[in-house]
């Protein structure tokens, strides 16, 4: 790709100060004529490069000028703009940074970069919902992570009981519009839901971070622990194959098809934290799904059914079959 070669030529001139067409051709494994055309294209595009003829001559960046592409290939630069572009739609800072990045590129690359930046957008609002804005403490917590400063949190846990904790912020994760803070505490690493933080107070105290800490690796451990908790109870059900995609949407990675997925009726393994959690998901399916095991899930379904019959079983029209649940209807 020519764009890759042009970027490589710029980086080579930055590293060596001066380069001949022959040297560039050898580095890029192209002909001398092709290398010369690439250098001339850079100059024509407005990049401050100039040739110096004679012995010891070659091509150099005017005045030792440097490009901000530092090590980026054209594909890597394009990937960067694909990532920054969507963020620019929801962040003024990202939008300003994007404009500066575009201006820093040689004219030859700007068209592709701008196209990549505009190829994707983010609409964080789900259908039927108002605009979803990230929790207020996120900006403060991001600054604390970057500056390595402790933060005092007033936090409401699952029981809604408030506690005050002094933590070392390590990193933030946005998972499906829910923000989490990974932090160090007196009891080791903890994960806090940002929307449960009542107040976040910055301090001037230096924060500690484990040597070699990597946010992505730490988050993978958190996800693994959470998914293990979410799969403590397994159930086997029978259902028509055409409804399996809906079950997958409900149970995510905790939905596994046993046997031939092409059969008319298939066995599916489902998991959730408790038998009640599985029963709640399946109750709306009525007779469309049959729970083979375990007995606790069957018992919870029977209890839910008895509760509904007790409240709504007036005796009028109860012998008529009810409508298929909307969630179970195949998409048109």
The CATH number assigned to the domain holding 55 equals 1.10.10.10
180 and 160 part of one domain? yes
Main-chain phi, psi angles of 94, to 5 degrees = -65, -35
The rounded Cα 116 to chain-centroid distance in angstroms is: 18
DSSP string, 271-310: EESSHHHHHHHHHTTGGGSEEEE-HHHHHHHHHHHHHHHH
Residue 327 — very low, low, confident or very high, per pLDDT cuts 50/70/90? Answer: very low
Asked if residue 190 has pLDDT above 90, the reply is yes
Residues, the chain: 332
44 and 84 part of one domain? no
Q: Determine the pLDDT at residue 102.
A: 63
Residue 331 — very low, low, confident or very high, per pLDDT cuts 50/70/90? Answer: very low
Main-chain phi, psi angles of 59, to 5 degrees = -110, 135
User: What single-letter DSSP state applies at residue 135?
Assistant: -
Structure tokens at 147: 């500056």
Listed residues 154, 185, 214: the one ending a domain: 214
- Assigned domain for 132 exists: no
Q: Considering its fold, how many domains does the chain have in total?
A: 4
The CATH number assigned to the domain holding 282 equals 3.30.70
Write out pLDDT tens, residues 198-224.
999 999 899 999 888 888 888 889 888
Q: Determine the pLDDT at residue 1.
A: 39
- Assigned domain for 112 exists: yes
- Average per-residue pLDDT for the chain: 78
- Assigned domain for 193 exists: yes
- Percentage of the chain beyond pLDDT 70 is 67
Identify the residue with better confidence: 275 or 48. 275
Q: Determine the pLDDT at residue 240.
A: 93
- Assigned domain for 185 exists: yes
Asked if residue 299 has pLDDT above 90, the reply is yes
Q: Determine the pLDDT at residue 192.
A: 94
- Assigned domain for 19 exists: yes
Main-chain phi, psi angles of 162, to 5 degrees = -85, 140
6 and 56 part of one domain? yes
- Assigned domain for 129 exists: no
167 and 205 part of one domain? yes
- Assigned domain for 282 exists: yes
Greatest mean pLDDT among 64-78, 100-114, 225-239 lies in: 225-239
Average pLDDT over residues 147-172: 90
- Assigned domain for 317 exists: no
CA–CA separation, 279 and 299 (whole Å) = 9
Write out pLDDT tens, residues 5-57.
666 777 677 767 788 888 888 887 788 888 888 888 777 766 677 777 766 67
Answering whether pTM is above 0.75, one says no
State the helix-helix crossing angle for 21-28 and 2-16, rounded to 10 degrees: 120
Asked if residue 117 has pLDDT above 80, the reply is no
60 and 78 part of one domain? no
The CATH number assigned to the domain holding 190 equals 2.30.30.520
What contacts 197, CB < 8 A, 6 or more positions away?
A: 135, 137, 153, 154, 155, 181
CA–CA separation, 264 and 331 (whole Å) = 18
243 and 270 part of one domain? yes
Quote the domain boundaries for residue 81: 74-117
Q: Determine the pLDDT at residue 264.
A: 81
79 and 112 part of one domain? yes
């Amino acid at each position: 790709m020519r764009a890759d070669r042009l970027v490589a030529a710029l980086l080579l001139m930055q590293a060596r100060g001066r380069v001949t067409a022959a040297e560039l051709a050898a580095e890029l494994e192209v002909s001398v004529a092709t290398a010369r055309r690439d250098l001339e294209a850079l100059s024509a595009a407005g990049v401050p490069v100039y040739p110096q003829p004679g012995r010891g001559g070659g091509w150099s960046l005017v005045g030792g000028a440097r490009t901000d592409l530092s090590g980026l290939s054209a594909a890597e630069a394009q990937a960067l703009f694909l990532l920054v572009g969507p963020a620019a739609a929801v962040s003024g800072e990202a939008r300003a940074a994007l404009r500066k990045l575009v201006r820093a590129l040689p004219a030859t690359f700007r068209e592709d970069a701008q196209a990549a930046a505009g190829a994707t957008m983010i609409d964080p609002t789900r259908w039927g919902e108002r605009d979803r804005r990230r929790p207020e403490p996120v900006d403060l917590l991001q600054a604390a992570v970057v500056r390595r400063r402790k933060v005092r949190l007033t936090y409401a846990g699952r029981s809604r009981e408030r506690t005050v904790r002094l933590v070392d912020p390590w990193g933030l994760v946005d998972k499906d519009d829910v923000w989490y803070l990974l932090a160090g505490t007196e009891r080791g690493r903890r994960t806090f839901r940002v929307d449960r933080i009542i107040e976040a107070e910055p301090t001037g105290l230096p924060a500690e971070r484990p040597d070699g800490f990597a946010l992505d690796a730490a988050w993978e451990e958190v996800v693994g622990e959470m998914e293990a908790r979410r799969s403590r109870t397994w159930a086997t059900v029978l259902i028509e194959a055409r409804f399996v995609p809906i079950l997958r949407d409900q149970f995510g990675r905790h939905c596994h098809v046993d046997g031939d997925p092409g059969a008319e009726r298939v066995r599916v393994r489902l998991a959730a934290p408790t038998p009640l959690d599985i029963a709640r998901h399946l109750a709306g399916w009525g007779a469309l799904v049959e729970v083979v095991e375990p007995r606790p899930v069957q018992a919870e379904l029977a209890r839910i059914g008895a509760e509904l019959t007790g409240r709504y079983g007036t005796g009028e029209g109860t012998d008529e079959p009810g409508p298929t649940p909307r969630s179970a209807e195949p998409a048109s």
